[in-house]
Amino acid sequence: MLNDVFTWVFFCECILKIIGLGPNNYFRDNFNLFDSIVVAVSLVDYALNKSISPEDLAGATDVL
């Protein structure tokens, strides 16, 4: 649950910085670019965890 909270906090931070700095200035900074990539990967992880049941995930890891 803590991972979900941090994902949404950093997502909100990212959105607020894009609004405050403007998209061009935000993505010019390499740290902001890295931050947005981490947030995007975290959102994908969040979506996958919410859409895949634990039983399906356990079966997929047994194959590996």
Are 37 and 43 contacting, i.e. CB atoms less than 8 angstroms apart?
no
Q: Is residue 63 part of a domain?
A: no
Distance between CA atoms of residues 55 and 52, nearest Å: 8
User: What's the domain range around 45?
Assistant: 2-50
Q: Is residue 7 part of a domain?
A: yes
* Residuewise pLDDT in 10s, the chain (64 residues): 888 899 999 999 999 999 999 999 999 999 999 999 999 999 998 998 888 776 666 665 555 5
Total domains present in the chain = 1
The pTM of the full predicted model, rounded to 2 decimals, is 0.74
How far are the Cα atoms of 34, 47, 53, 58, 64 from residue 61, in angstroms, in the given order? 29, 18, 13, 5, 5
Quick one: pLDDT at residue 27? 94
Quick one: pLDDT at residue 1? 84
Q: Is residue 58 part of a domain?
A: no
